[in-house]
Structure 1
């Protein structure tokens, strides 16, 4: 009797799993805590809404996720959408929209649609993140000066020189600005110079602690975050009147956009996490459903939407996490910290969190991606740049749709590309026209130019062995040339059956009638 030999390592005992994932969970908690609050502020929402999402993403989604080592929580990628939603419809609209987005994700997961979200071009997703990163830098530059950001990215960029001049000349927000710059400087220095033994200490936490201590001991007059004394009392569940807001078509569209972008970002992040470790692979439909459950709960609690987040997930893997216990524990630590030590969070200067987000936004832009996409061809680079620039100039939805439309157009043009090669053969007055690719109406000018170049008195041999497809427009062109060729003592040699098999209506001999 044959038996398979397994090379898999035996599962560790629950106690060992807990110990092995204890340190990674603490590392992720320390990375996630300032980001949850900072992303909420960037979204125009109370910091507690980001903390609730981080807790739900850790404890609940972490327990059922299809990607055991990925960490879910509020993401910078949705901050722009949330900011626009709250600006236009108020904070009361956030819960219903997030809950409906979660329901759509759950239905998509049950319907096994996870793989379809992965079909979004990486150039579009990277362009989306780059555009969002630029918008975050623009808006948080104002927040870092204890000022309110404006409605659009272009307005924020236009108003920034005046804000900076006011800070330098009149001192408006100058102390906050120095704390924000200090945060960025500490994070940058720590990333470049941190000792190997302290590589797991998050630079964001170190920077926020340093500027918080500076603000406290120096008694600096800067704005600080507002965290409620009682987390449970701060939760505002969605009621019937709030759900009635979904009768507004613009909010229905917003929910669909939230669901699509959150799903695409999550599943692409999951694929990236899979490349970082040798453990269990992601079950994409299960992950999509788990994200739906998480967003349903976050929506019901009036919190921020969540996605799988690559920064926290990478920290989890690099810290040595082996199971989902690390993700669950990080949410537990966050819950305990918010419940027991809210006074400590209230010491944190908003400018420090803005500095963390500016640093994060710059990394999201990642100029090295330009070289990476250029290596795949000018088309990929064009999609990446167009998506990012349209997002900055208009809004997130328009930018993503523009990027997807450009990707589809590029694909269509490549699929319709025809290589035309006209050459003279060794025999006198014998020429060959080789067609390779797809002959569509877009190829008519190039094909007509090649046919016109055939000299008088020549016999033209049509080689279609590498032709994948020919449409009606090109067939008509070939028929007309063959019909009029005898007037100039020219003729075409072609196999009608070869053309027929590649024609738009393959199998119907009538389409090639006239070719001989």
Structure 2
């Protein structure tokens, strides 16, 4: 189908009509999350709404992943909060613009696939660390308290994430103090109600779950707080009467005097994390449906355009968001129209009904993020990683702990370095076990691990110890890989050994079995003759060189 035909199909009414209902569902999911993520990021709530609108109306049209929905993401709250701690809003905007330009450049250079080359243990550890930070900081906001910016313990300064975690028992004590002059217990009650509604709603039949639980939780808490006139913090003055007054535009004088070295470093970190989260989310969304697959370079470019626009008008940085995307697929979304229209619904709502947003208690939005943080930790992912070895679990925990105790970038880099060290170990580790009969005429060498040129001296040393005129058997059942250098060594040594009256038998079947078992018994039994021919061909080819 030509591009012109695809374009005409895209703008036809049946395609638009099909995505109206899914777009409403995504809008209802996005509304409370946009507000809550903005508050968690230390930004005005309107900034989250601006980003949600841009994620729909701008990124939606350009997206390379047709069913992925973009907007402000919980995974970026830690980075954005740190930016607002260091810079004023003008420099934060500049950082977001530069991050967007970096994404545009990466997409134009066809680097989209490379952003996916991150170990799953690092990604899941990153999400778990972010989830812990969100949970701990929003727990304090959920009880109408302030999150900690740091903590001094025995002369040692603890970063905000660890400080928030360690002071949760203190926060719980404030709730149960029932001080009528403060609102901690009232806010906690509404927050707990919000979480209970979200959890209970997940137990209802799926046909009802098209109405998102977070929206119902926020709605229930807001109605109760209004009916009983509960004295707690609300969005109130954070939402302007006119949405147009929420936009913040660049001040070129401030941008011209910005510390560009520090800004560029912050932008690079933001671009890296946002791109990785977006493209991993796109991969997950592709597994949820049978439609058009993701064009990663186009998706990366679209995200860059969206972030550049957000930075120019005072919005938060955006990524592809799995919660909204899953809601889109589950509601029956078929094209980019659902993401586009959800941005339009957000725009219409904040333009004409801002007074409704002002009544929302801050505690119930924080409760939505407390639940979101818990889901990001996802203990089930630990069991899944454990299937691939203890080292994967260790990388997961190292990444998570470093993020919580230091910062996001250090945590992610720690995980990447550990994953690289593991990869180096796997591709350089070779264990050789020698077994011989009492006569010393029959020997077996068991090769375990990976036989590459890096372990060629070890293999050569073991072969040199084999007595002349002996029969050597090399068992490859527990060998995962052997490269050409080691194969060439074996073939050359075989010729020399045969000249002394000895023999060499290599367990090619053991190595081949490791390959064929990946395809099941059917593939393995289809043509054992072909397998034998292949092994013979390999041996002859290497031996002839």
Give the match for residue 438 of structure 1.
451
Residue 114 to residue 439, structure 1, CA distance change in 2 (3 Å) = closer
Identify which of 187, 198, 202 aligns with 2:198.
187
* Paired residue secondary structure (2:443): strand
Identify which of 175, 181, 187 aligns with 2:186.
175
Give the match for residue 136 of structure 2.
138
Identify which of 112, 115, 126 aligns with 2:113.
115
Give the superposition deviation at 1:432. 4.5
1:197 and 2:210 equivalent? no
Give the match for residue 488 of structure 1.
none
Give the match for residue 221 of structure 1.
231
Structure 2: distance between partners of 1:442 and 1:227: 65
CA offset digits 1:98-117 (Å, max 9, x no partner):
00000000000010000000
CA offset digits 1:287-324 (Å, max 9, x no partner):
00000000000011121000000100000010011111
* Paired residue secondary structure (2:434): strand
Aligned-pair Cα RMSD in Å: 2.9
Structure 1: distance between partners of 2:470 and 2:52: 74
* Equivalent pair of 2:140/2:146 in contact (CA under 8 Å): yes
Structure 2: distance between partners of 1:315 and 1:350: 24
* Equivalent pair of 1:420/1:447 in contact (CA under 8 Å): no
Alignment of 1:23-102 (within 5 A): 23-102=21-100
Give the match for residue 165 of structure 1.
173
* Paired residue secondary structure (1:406): helix
Residue 164 to residue 461, structure 1, CA distance change in 2 (3 Å) = same
Residue ranges of structure 1 left out of the alignment (5+ in a row): 1-7, 480-490, 496-516
Give the superposition deviation at 1:459. 6.0
Structure 2: distance between partners of 1:435 and 1:468: 13
Give the superposition deviation at 1:263. 0.4
* Equivalent pair of 1:63/1:324 in contact (CA under 8 Å): yes
* Equivalent pair of 2:26/2:327 in contact (CA under 8 Å): yes
* Paired residue secondary structure (1:237): coil
Q: Which moved more, 1:412-421 or 1:342-351?
A: 412-421
Give the match for residue 468 of structure 1.
483
CA offset digits 1:19-45 (Å, max 9, x no partner):
211110000000000000000000011
Give the superposition deviation at 1:336. 0.5
CA offset digits 1:305-358 (Å, max 9, x no partner):
000001000000100111111111100000000010111000000000000001
Structure 2: distance between partners of 1:456 and 1:11: 75
Give the match for residue 128 of structure 1.
126
Structure 1: distance between partners of 2:120 and 2:111: 18
Structure 1: distance between partners of 2:320 and 2:167: 33
Identify which of 308, 313, 338 aligns with 1:296.
308
Structure 2: distance between partners of 1:30 and 1:375: 37
Q: Which moved more, 1:283-292 or 1:150-159?
A: 150-159
Structure 2: distance between partners of 1:49 and 1:296: 14
Q: Which moved more, 1:245-254 or 1:58-67?
A: 245-254
Structure 2: distance between partners of 1:456 and 1:278: 61
1:359 and 2:371 equivalent? yes
Give the match for residue 380 of structure 1.
392
Residue ranges of structure 2 left out of the alignment (5+ in a row): 1-5, 150-159, 494-499, 505-545
CA offset digits 1:127-176 (Å, max 9, x no partner):
11111001100000000111111121110012222222122115341111
Structure 1: distance between partners of 2:501 and 2:210: 73
Structure 1: distance between partners of 2:431 and 2:195: 52
Structure 2: distance between partners of 1:40 and 1:322: 29
Residue 187 to residue 88, structure 1, CA distance change in 2 (3 Å) = same
Aligned residues: 467
Structure 1: distance between partners of 2:387 and 2:362: 40
Identify which of 13, 16, 19 aligns with 1:15.
13
Give the match for residue 390 of structure 1.
402
Query: TM-score normalised to the size of structure 1?
Result: 0.84
Alignment of 1:301-320 (within 5 A): 301-320=313-332
Identify which of 128, 148, 153 aligns with 2:161.
153
* Equivalent pair of 2:248/2:313 in contact (CA under 8 Å): yes
Structure 2: distance between partners of 1:90 and 1:370: 39
Structure 1: distance between partners of 2:10 and 2:265: 46
Residue 76 to residue 12, structure 1, CA distance change in 2 (3 Å) = closer
Residue 421 to residue 15, structure 1, CA distance change in 2 (3 Å) = same
Give the match for residue 276 of structure 2.
264
CA offset digits 1:171-200 (Å, max 9, x no partner):
3411111111111111011112x2343120
Query: TM-score normalised to the size of structure 2?
Result: 0.80
Q: Which moved more, 1:385-394 or 1:132-141?
A: 385-394
Give the match for residue 533 of structure 2.
none
